[in-house]
Amino acid sequence: MDSLGETIRKLREEKELPLRTVAAFLDIDQAILSKIERGQRNANREQVVKLAEFFKIKENDLLVSWLSDKLVYEVADEDVALKALQVAEEKVKYQKKNKK
């Protein structure tokens, strides 16, 4: 499973685009984009949405990758990570159901 950064790099390389082109579209320095691709820095939601637009892919696909990276970063070192994620899933379902 690729991280968001790995996905971005693959998309960029498939289109044979330099970092500077994608970074310019995002209005960020190419060093920042490079760090995002290597997993040394996190993109924000707005950047993820813009990347989906730039690469003409489904926004939800990149947002799922982005959010899953955030979750993994937060819980990866915890012994009860999987259980916590299962409980979180139930809480999300409960909140969505009760918002209707």
- What pLDDT sits at residue 63? 97
* Domain span including residue 27: 4-99
| CATH number of the domain within which 10 lies | 1.10.260.40
Q: What is the pLDDT of residues 10-67, one digit of tens each?
A: 999 999 999 999 999 999 999 999 999 999 999 999 999 999 999 999 999 999 999 9
Kindly report the pTM of this predicted structure. 0.83
- What pLDDT sits at residue 76? 84
The band of 100, judged by pLDDT with boundaries at 50, 70 and 90, is low
Does residue 68 surpass a pLDDT of 70? yes
> Distance of CA 29 to CAs 8, 21, 49, Å?
15, 10, 18
Number of domains observed in the structure of the chain: 1
CA 33 to CA 39: how far, in whole Å?
Answer: 10
